[in-house]
Amino acid sequence: MQVLPYVDRPVPQGPRAYRTRLRSLGPLAALLPAAVIGGAAVLALHGSSSVGRGATGFALAVFAAPLLLAFGGPLTSGTAMFASAVGASAVLWFVIGVVASRRATRSPVATWRDFWREFAWPAVGVWIGVVAALGVADLVIGRALF
């Protein structure tokens, strides 16, 4: 029976460089889920003439840009309002990415899996807040949203 030798693959450029890469690219990586969800929202809303596609597109847009509601998203329109809401939401996701990258790299052997685990908790919290805000808006406006 032939035994294969164990090959220990080192961390490219060392653990310190890998941690630095996680800390520098983590905040930018945190923008990716919002960008993908926002792209899906644009695709759903573009040429939408059905209620289902409109509601799906709106829900995706609010999950991608959670501050859209704070800027008056469904009730007001205009390029400046949407640009401000998307910009502020990008800053929110970037800050969450900074915090997640710092928390993930507290361990000297941090990986991208650690980063996404640290990112998931605040992201889910933001999305729960969005659902709660939509529920409160539905109660205040009186069945105009759902």
User: Looking at residue 146, what is its pLDDT?
Assistant: 52
Structure tokens at 54: 């409109």
User: Looking at residue 4, what is its pLDDT?
Assistant: 66
33: region left, alpha or beta (phi > 0 left; psi from -120 to 50 alpha): alpha
User: Looking at residue 89, what is its pLDDT?
Assistant: 94
Q: What is the arithmetic mean of pLDDT over 75-102?
A: 89
User: 143: pLDDT confidence band, cut at 50, 70 and 90?
Assistant: low
Contacts of residue 54, defined as CB under 8 A and 6 or more positions apart, other chains included, come to 44, 45, 48
CA–CA dist 117, 101 (Å, integer): 10
pLDDT of 145 over the 60 cut: no
More confident residue, 124 or 137: 124
Reported pTM: 0.81
Q: What is the arithmetic mean of pLDDT over 16-43?
A: 89
For residues 9, 12, 18 and 22, what is the CA-based torsion angle, rounded to 10 degrees? -100
User: Looking at residue 96, what is its pLDDT?
Assistant: 96
Q: CA nearest 15: which of 109, 112, 138, 121?
A: 109
User: 77: pLDDT confidence band, cut at 50, 70 and 90?
Assistant: confident
Which residue has tokens 């008056």?
72
pLDDT of 40 over the 80 cut: yes
